């Protein structure tokens, strides 16, 4: 996983925190380093006598893992997620171009295929319309969405346009006088 994070750090659109040097060195040089982060964190909570059954050097594990607990607990897939609402098509397609080789190392074929289909959609003529709809939907709160779903938004827009037209007419007459 740490090798993946190092590769990800070299990818422009992936903002990951690289592992602390001493933690990375521990993972690289000790058998316990093959364990997932959750297991390493669990080990760090064991008593020394219990820990001796699982690792060859309990002191080294505590020194490397316990002091970097926060780093390990914060590891998640968020840096690999795409923004919502989505970026403009050319930016999104470029970001996915960068992500596919990286994610392809750890993700299943369906995930990579989905990324590729989103990339193709981002390059299509229809994408900007869909992106704009996503931006609008993201900006609306629940009451606004409910107005649209009930069909009341169109009536309110029509009423507002009529009111604006009336105000424009009154202002135009006032300016002439």
Interval 6-20 mean pLDDT? 90
Contacts of 72 (CB under 8 A, 6+ apart): 23, 37, 40, 41, 65
* Cβ atoms within 10 Å of 64's Cβ, excluding its own: 23
Find out whether 63 and 56 touch, Cβ atoms under 8 Å. Answer: no
pLDDT tens track for 126-168: 999 999 999 998 999 998 888 888 888 888 889 999 999 999 9
Distances (CA, A) of 84 to 8, 32, 104: 21, 38, 22
Q: Which two tokens stand for residue 85?
A: 């609402």
- This prediction has a pTM of 0.69
Residue 86's CB is within 10 A of a number of other CB atoms, namely 19
Report helix angle 109-122 to 127-139, nearest 10: 100
* Residue 68 token pair: 């970097």
The dihedrals phi and psi of 134, each to the nearest 5 degrees, come to: -65, -40
pLDDT by residue (tens digit) across 33-51? 999 999 999 999 999 899 9
User: What whole-number distance in Å separates Cα of residue 1 and Cα of residue 19?
Assistant: 10
């Amino acid at each position: 996983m740490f090798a993946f994070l190092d590769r990800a750090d070299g990818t422009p659109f992936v903002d990951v925190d690289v592992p602390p040097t001493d933690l990375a060195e521990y993972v690289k040089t000790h058998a316990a380093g093959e364990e997932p982060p959750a297991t390493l964190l669990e080990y760090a909570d064991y008593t020394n006598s219990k820990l001796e059954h699982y690792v060859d050097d309990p002191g080294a594990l505590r020194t490397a893992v316990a002091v970097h607990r926060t780093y390990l607990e914060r590891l998640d897939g968020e840096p690999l997620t795409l923004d919502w609402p989505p970026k403009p098509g050319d930016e999104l397609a470029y970001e996915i171009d960068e992500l596919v080789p990286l994610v392809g190392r750890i993700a299943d074929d369906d995930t990579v295929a989905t990324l590729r289909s989103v990339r193709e959609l981002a390059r299509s003529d229809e994408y900007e319309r869909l992106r704009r709809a996503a931006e609008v939907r993201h900006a609306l709160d629940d009451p606004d969405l409910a107005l649209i779903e009930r069909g009341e938004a169109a009536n309110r827009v029509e009423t507002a346009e009529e009111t604006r037209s009336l105000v424009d007419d009154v202002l135009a007459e006032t300016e002439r006088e």
